[in-house]
């Protein structure tokens, strides 16, 4: 008979608490999608500014890089800071940019899946068909988002909510 290794009680309690918070957040995202989009936009803005500051500091202080590399770091850092403040000043534009970037990534991934499904002759036929079908769905989804950005925001909120719900349930189950 082997003993089951378990985490200390306080760790398990924290996992349950964080799981419950994630589940509550999942419902909150569905009930208040506007605030969720705004929060994601703020996170985008702060991330851009932090990365910008990091690149700026590296460009100003890192002597091991070439002058061109340091100048590029400074330029990218300043652009990151400016764009971060721009997203804060115009959060709707930041949210739309985030949605369009996600749609673009989905479209690129979709075209990639279609191409792999079309040329990967060594894969089983059902895998190739699945790649093409899901690739087409990804491309169609991306074009739907470009045509109607609200659809992209709704999709993002559903995806975020489902992700939070799954994480919350997993956290609680693993702690029990």
Give 16-48 pLDDT, tens digit per residue. Answer: 899 899 899 888 888 888 888 888 888 889 999
pLDDT tens per residue, range 84-141: 999 899 988 888 888 888 899 999 999 999 999 999 888 899 999 999 999 999 999 9
CA distance 50 to 96: 21
Q: Report, as an integer, the average pLDDT of 5-26.
A: 85
Contact 80, 46 (CB under 8 A): no
CA distance 135 to 116: 9
Q: Report, as an integer, the average pLDDT of 155-170.
A: 85
Torsion of CA 61, 64, 66, 72, to 10 degrees: -40
Q: Which residues of 35-49 are buried (b: 16+ CB within 10 A; e: fewer)?
A: ebbeebbeebbeebb
CA distance 161 to 98: 17
Contact 51, 86 (CB under 8 A): no
Write the DSSP symbol of residue 122: T
pLDDT tens per residue, range 41-79: 888 899 999 999 999 999 999 888 888 999 999 999 999
Poorest-pLDDT segment among 74-78, 133-137, 146-150, 154-158 = 154-158
Per DSSP, the three-state class of 123 is coil
- Confidence band, pLDDT 50/70/90 cuts, at residue 5: low
Write the DSSP symbol of residue 32: -
Per-residue confidence (pLDDT) for residue 162, from 0 to 100: 86
Q: What interhelical angle do 33-61 and 67-89 show, nearest 10?
A: 160
**CA atoms within a 13 Å half-sphere pointing along the CA-CB vector of 95:** 20
Per-residue confidence (pLDDT) for residue 4, from 0 to 100: 57
Greater pLDDT, 132 or 163: 132
Is-above-0.75 flag for pTM? no
Q: What interhelical angle do 9-31 and 33-61 show, nearest 10?
A: 110
- Confidence band, pLDDT 50/70/90 cuts, at residue 3: low
CA distance 34 to 145: 17
Greater pLDDT, 152 or 57: 57
Contacting residues for 27 by C-beta, under 8 A, at least 6 apart: 161
């Amino acid at each position: 008979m082997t003993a089951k290794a378990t985490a200390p009680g306080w760790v398990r309690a924290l996992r349950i608490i964080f799981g419950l918070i994630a589940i509550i957040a999942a419902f909150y995202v569905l009930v208040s999608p506007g605030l969720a989009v705004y929060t994601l936009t703020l996170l985008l803005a702060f991330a851009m500014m932090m990365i910008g500051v990091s690149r700026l500091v590296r460009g100003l202080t890192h002597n091991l890089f070439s002058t061109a590399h340091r100048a590029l770091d400074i330029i990218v850092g300043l652009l990151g800071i400016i764009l971060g403040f721009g997203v804060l000043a115009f959060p709707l534009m930041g949210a739309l940019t985030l949605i369009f970037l996600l749609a673009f990534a989905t479209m690129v991934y979709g075209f990639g899946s279609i191409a792999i499904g079309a040329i990967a002759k060594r894969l089983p036929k059902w895998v190739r068909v699945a790649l093409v079908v899901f690739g087409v769905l990804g491309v169609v989804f991306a074009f739907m988002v470009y045509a109607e950005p609200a659809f992209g925001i709704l999709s993002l909120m559903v995806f975020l909510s489902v992700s939070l719900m799954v994480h919350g349930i997993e956290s609680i189950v693993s702690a029990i």
